[in-house]
Amino acid sequence: MRVALRWILALVAVTVTVTLIFAFFQAKAEKRALRNELEGRAQALGETLQDHVEALLSSPDPTALANYLSQVENRDSLYGIAVYNDLGTELAATPSLVGALKLLPSVVTRAISENGGRGRFIDVGPTLLYLYALPLHRGPSVTGAVGMFYDASYIDAEIARIWRTTFWTLVVEIFFIVLITILVIRWALTGNITRMAQWMRQWRRGSSHAAPPLPDDDLFKPLAEEVRHMTAMLAAARAAAEKEAQLRESAESLWTPERLRVHVKGKLQERPLFVVSNREPYVHIKNGRSVQVVVPASGLVTALEPVLLACEGTWIAHGAGDADRETVGPGDRLRVPPDNPHYTLRRVFLSPEEETGYYYGFSNEGLWPLCHIAHMRPIFRASDWEAYQTVNRKFAEAALEEMEGTEEPVVLVQDYHFALLPRLIKTERPEARVAIFWHIPWPNPQAFGICPWQRELLDGLLGADLIGFHIQAHCNHFLETVDQALESRIDWDRFVVNRRGHRTHVRRFPISVNPAELAPPEGTKPPPVDRVALLKEHGVDAVLMGVGVDRVDYTKGIPERFRAVERFLEKYPDYQGRFTFLQVGAPSRSTIQRYRDLLAEVKAEADRVNARFATPHWKPIVYLQTLHSHAQLARYYRAANLCMVTALHDGMNLVAKEFVAAREDERGVLILSRFAGAAYELRDALIVNPYDTEQLAEAIRAALEMTPEEETLRMQAMRRVVAEHNVYRWAANLIAELTEIRTEEPRPVGAL
């Protein structure tokens, strides 16, 4: 009630103030208009009266002037008329003025002395009069003046009427303002707040899961948004707590974002974490006249954001969005996430030349094909190497600037874009704990020796305290490469490289996915996906479906996959018209000619196979050349009889794990390349050689003809692996290993 009273008093005060101001100016304008009208009327009459009075002053009849004045007074509603000589003596006056004027009005004196018409408002007793005086002439000489007196009291009466009207209008306005305010507060505010309180009470008791009952208009929108965020966070926390309780009850120990946060706080001991990656966790892009925040579909973001949320860390990344520059603050920083800021995003901006040389050139035309044995020749240009060095130094400067003032900072560098960064940071901050995770394969020493700058890259990597790879084979290849290329001591038992008095630990950390991203909300069950209806959406009548999800890259084996589908339909024609393979292929690195050629090759191969087998209502391959969200991909995963992951060489390949995580029904078959890192963990998949078309075709047949019991047993085993070895466990192990490493002061250059 106090709030309502304050609102009412404030509204009444504002209304009274505004109304009085308007009334004041209205009264002032009306008074000015009435006076101007009276003055104009007096001037018009005065010109006529002046001539007649001058003539009558020469008349021999002494009563003529008085009679004329009486006639004019009655005719023009004058209060009175008086005639004066040049000395100011009254010569004649109407009866209404007799005795009213004790002194000669100064206006008359001025009219005589200045030989011109003059007017003024004067008070005669209780009456307000307007006097207008004109000089009288005889020849060129001024002989006196005539004064016309008008009753001007009606002007004050009109102004008083305006103020009375304003007063009663104000009374009515205040009445309705109070009434409407009470109704609005009761219906619009009190009602909504009461409903909100009831909903929160029910939600607190666990009896409500519906959205908060707030209207989504401008008044309540900020509150509604905050309530939604708060309830989402509380719901997530409640679900996590329930999940943890269930896990404790069943003696299981799965890693969750909440568990990772607690783990990180204990390991970092209040120290912030500094993450360096090419990709940023939040991108600002222009959408018409507005700016939109986009979260890239990245397992890296999924894994590392809970860590940064827990330790108030800093993520240093390339600002690639077209609105990234205009959304940062001082120092190219901003706080994220946008709806609940907990850590700092530091953006590093690159020129087009730097991005072309560092990212598209050296990283993706050089290191990418070098590390993937996919029979694509790497290209190394001196200009790209210069850009790679420049960008690594630029990121190192940004990281060192962010770490300034932090004792023993912990730095986590991501991927092959920043091979030089560990050494650059460690040189300036020897006490820093630095790790780098290499997300792609590491080839054998002979293959890596192709790179003209292999020694510089290896030396940069060995500046780290910890280097992580997906599988043990990559760790082995790395140590073998170091052994052949650099002077160092390698402890093969502990997988440690000792170079220049600094020890670098090399470990296996198989990355994974967050199963919750592809699972339905906690406590709900996803509706079954109608496979036939899904295929009909793409113009295909079929009852069996395979799916492939890839970034279009020559390492993914997409053409090999299509040729396997072709061979399968050749060998088993009964499946023609019944089986369709749906390939989701997101375009990638289209500025590089080889990727543009690959896009054309994949489409041509799909068209060729379709041209051979397609009917009016069916085709063997549906090729979707577009990006898809996790929710869209989950629908394809759940509908498919099989998923094909036929990478020619891959570090891990998370599509295999995404497919497994999406199958709550514990059905479906995974056909997995033995050259993908995931094959070392998902042993219940059908492991294949993607170069062997016959074997791939037979794997498709085996998957489609597998018994439901075998499907379920295989999928259950793989789902246990994905659940237990999820992305949060990957992050936890990586940070735990890094924080437990003992750092040393570097020895002089040249020492082993």
The most distant pair of C-alpha atoms in the chain lies apart, rounded to whole Å, by: 147
List Cβ neighbours of 159 (8 Å cut-off, separation of 6 or more): 27, 30, 31
**Mean pLDDT on 508-527:** 79
What was the pLDDT predicted at 752?
A: 45
CA 752 to CA 489: how far, in whole Å?
7
Give the mean pLDDT of 167-193: 77
Residue boundaries of the structural domains of the chain: 2-157, 221-252, 258-508, 526-724
What size, in residues, is the chain? 752
What is the model's pLDDT at position 212?
Answer: 58
Residues 440, 559: Cα–Cα separation, whole Å: 21
Alpha-helical segments (H) within 347-452: 352-355, 368-371, 382-403, 421-428, 445-448
- Indicate the SS3 state at residue 114: helix
Mean pLDDT within 166-191: 78
Quick one: pLDDT at residue 242?
Answer: 57
Q: How far apart are CA 698 and CA 65, in angstroms?
A: 135
**Distance between CA atoms of 656 and 374, rounded to whole angstroms?**
19
Whether pLDDT at 248 is above 70? no
In sequence order, what are the beta bridge partners of 492?
A: none
| Cα separation values, 522 from 210, 525, 526, 664, Å | 14, 8, 10, 12
What six digits make up the tokens of 442? Answer: 């590491």
CA dihedral (96, 98, 104, 109) positive or negative: positive
So what's the pLDDT on residue 235? 65
Domain 258-508 CATH (choose: 3.20.20.140, 3.40.50.2000, 3.80.30.20, 3.40.630.10): 3.40.50.2000
Judge whether residue 750 has pLDDT over 70. no
pLDDT at 429 over 50: yes
Rounded distance between C-alpha atoms, residue 162 and residue 156, angstroms: 10
**Is the per-residue pLDDT at 547 higher than 90?**
yes
CA distance 594 to 63: 122
Question: Which of 626, 668, 675 minimizes the C-alpha distance to 646?
Answer: 675
pLDDT > 90: percent of the chain: 50
Are 426 and 460 within 8 A, CB to CB? no
The label of the residue with tokens 């082995």 reads 476
For residue 420, give the 3-state DSSP assignment. Answer: coil
Tally the C-alpha atoms within 13 A of residue 634's C-alpha that lie toward its C-beta: 19
Pick from 674, 671, 648: nearest CA to 659: 671
Q: How confident is the model at residue 255 (pLDDT cuts 50, 70, 90)?
A: confident
Q: Average of pLDDT values for 329-334?
A: 94
Confidence bin at 251 (pLDDT 50/70/90): very low
**More confident site: 711 or 181:** 711
Q: How confident is the model at residue 310 (pLDDT cuts 50, 70, 90)?
A: confident
For residue 210, what pLDDT band results from cuts at 50, 70 and 90? Answer: low
Q: What is the DSSP track for 283-310? A: EEEEETTEEEEE----HHHHHHHHHHHH
For helices 257-268 and 727-740, give the axis angle rounded to 10 degrees. 10
Could you say which of 3.40.190.10, 3.30.450.20, 1.20.1050.10, 3.40.50.1100 is the CATH number of the domain covering 2-157?
Answer: 3.30.450.20
Q: Give the pLDDT band (50/70/90) at residue 679.
A: very high
The mean per-residue pLDDT over the stretch 693-712 comes to 97
**Per-residue pLDDT tens digits for 610-661:** 999 999 999 999 999 887 777 788 999 999 999 999 999 999 999 999 999 9
| Omega before residue 337 within 30° of 0, cis | yes
Identify which has the larger pLDDT, 367 or 17.
Answer: 367
In this prediction, residue 64 carries a pLDDT of: 81
Instruction: Tell which phi-psi region holds residue 659, choosing left (phi > 0), alpha (psi between -120 and 50) or beta.
Output: alpha
Residue 227: the pLDDT is 67
Mean pLDDT of the region 361-369? 95
Compute the average pLDDT of residues 69-82: 76
What local confidence, expressed as pLDDT, does residue 570 receive?
97
State which amino acid sits at residue 583: Q
pTM (two decimals): 0.70
More reliable by pLDDT, 442 or 131: 442
- pLDDT single digits (tens) 133-142: 888 888 888 8
Tokens standing for 718?
């793989």
pLDDT of residue 389: 97
The whole-number pLDDT of residue 340 equals 83
> Residue 240 — pLDDT band, cuts 50, 70, 90?
low
Q: Which residue has the higher pLDDT, 675 or 529?
A: 675
239-250 b/e (C-beta count within 10 Å ≥ 16 → b): bbeebbeeeeee
Distance CA 187, CA 199 (A): 17
Alpha-carbon distances of 359 from 335, 382, 591, 652, rounded to whole Å: 26, 14, 11, 21
Write the CB contacts of 449 (distance below 8 Å, at least 6 apart in sequence): 481, 484, 485
Q: Which fold has domain 526-724?
A: Rossmann fold (3.40.50)
Asked if the domains 258-508 and 526-724 are classified in one and the same CATH topology, the answer is yes
Question: What mean pLDDT value characterizes the chain?
Answer: 86
CA distance 247 to 592: 48
pLDDT band at 328; cut points 50, 70, 90: very high
